[in-house]
Each structure stands twice: as C-alpha cells, then as structure tokens.
Chains A and B, each alone.
Chain A
C-alpha cells in the first residue's frame, strides 16, 4: 500500500497536473483508510482558498 508520504506528494501534485487513473485509484484507497491523509486532502483545498484570498487582499477587509 501507498504510504502517507507518497500520498501527500500525490495530493500536492494533483494541484499541478492530472493524476493517472492508477495514481488516483491508489490515492483514493489510501485516503479512505487513513484519517490523517483524509484530513490532509481537505486541508489542501482550504490552503489554496486561504492563499488566494490573501493574495487578493481579502485579509485587509477584516478588522485590525
């Protein structure tokens, strides 16, 4: 089975390139069974959202 280190690498790469069918299937299997990587996957989406909001100056709309 794929380990967490490899799984996180693939989750990162999936933000730059389309994973192969084999890669997405083994990744899917892994995140189904691994709570940590399941959370990691959610957080990658959140991280992108946070960063893009920050780059667009959304943080300046909060009270200081």
Chain B
C-alpha cells in the first residue's frame, strides 16, 4: 500500500471512530475510572486517558476495529500509569507497599477447616440486585468495597471487569501465570461479594452510614 492511500485509509478510519461519540465516550469513562482508581488522582487520570486516546487514534490503521481500539488505548494508558506510579513510588509510604505484599490470605474467617462456609458467612439471597443500580448510595458502597481490595487484586479485577480484557491479555500485561490470575480474581470476587452483602444487602439495601 502506498503512503498516500495508507494515509487516506487512516483518516477514514479515524473519522468513523470519531463519529461514534457514544462508543468513544464509553471507552473514555471506563478508562478514567480505571486510571483514577489506579493512580488515586482524578486530574492525573484525565490527562493520561486523553493522551492515550489521542495516541491510539493517531494510529488507527494499526488496529482493526472497536475491540482493538479499546485494547490499544488500554495498552498506552497502562504504560502511562506504570510510569506515573514509578515516579510516585518515592513518596509512597511503607504501609501501602506492605499491603501490596500482603496477599497470602487464608480466608479462614470465611471457610472452616474443611473448606465449607462458616455459618455466619454463608451467602444469603440478595433482595433486589437490579434495583440497587439506580441508587446513588449503592454506588458509594460499591466504590468503598472496591477501594478495600488489596492493590494487586484490584488491578487485575479492574483489568478483567472494567476494561474487559481476557485472561491471557492480563497475564501478559502484568506478568502473571494463569493460575496466579485465577487465584487473584477469585479472592477479589470473594471479598467484593462479602463486602456488598455486609454493607448493602444485609443493611436492608438502604444504609445511611459506611462503617
């Protein structure tokens, strides 16, 4: 392909993608949530996402469609987050570094020695899971529960469920074996489920105070 037709093709692709504003807006929101939770700073996150989107769109011919654009934006964003975190590392305090290491939980508070639910931890049926999504307070509870995850679990959980990367992509991106990833995701889901049940569904789904 000549440089000229290549450029034309590129412009056309970018045009198509830019025309679909709701698709771009969805990606942008997803990425900002992700970056904000990983960086702990909304402004840094917005800047990083903007750069990543522009960077990805500039190279529109290198990817073949929507799913690929998402993956591309995320790849750029992830590098930016990694850089930012490396710079921040110097001021990160010791306790949060320890927290990163401290992921060898045994969940003995959830399961007994034979691996069955502790009686008071056995999951109960949730009242109206869909209805909760319309309540602002529910989302604050959800955010608090996400914030409570150990960093490594939070990171892979968000890669999986926010960015919708598949297991293989996550393993490559954060250098994990498949079985490590399965363990981390399992722990994240156990914790989140427990947190939502205790702080929302067992509180009559309308608690006023986060404790």
B161 touches A43 (CB 8 A): no
Supposing A3-B114, A3-B116 touch, asked if A36 and B123 sit within 8 A by C-beta, the answer is yes
Q: Mark B171-202, 1 if CB is under 8 A from A, else 0.
A: 00000000001110110011011001100000
A54 touches B192 (CB 8 A): no
Supposing A9-B186, A59-B136, A63-B136 touch, asked if A42 and B125 sit within 8 A by C-beta, the answer is yes
The verdict on A29 contacting chain B, using a C-beta distance below 8 Å, is no
B189 touches A47 (CB 8 A): yes
A53 and B111 alpha carbons, distance in the complex (Å) = 30
The verdict on A12 contacting chain B, using a C-beta distance below 8 Å, is yes
Residues of B within 8 A of A5 (CB): 107, 111, 115-116
A16 and B29 alpha carbons, distance in the complex (Å) = 24
B161 touches A52 (CB 8 A): yes
A53 and B134 alpha carbons, distance in the complex (Å) = 11
Interface size on A, residues (CB 8 A): 37
Residues of B within 8 A of A22 (CB): none
Q: Per DSSP, are chain A's interface residues mostly helix, strand or loop, or mixed?
A: helix
B129 touches A46 (CB 8 A): yes
Residues of A within 8 A of B132 (CB): 50
The verdict on B166 contacting chain A, using a C-beta distance below 8 Å, is yes
Give me the interface of A with B, judged by CB distance under 8 Å.
Answer: 3-6, 8-9, 12-13, 15-17, 34-37, 39-40, 42-44, 46-59, 62-64
| A-B contact list, 7 entries, CB within 8 Å | A34-B117, A39-B124, A50-B132, A51-B162, A56-B26, A62-B134, A62-B139
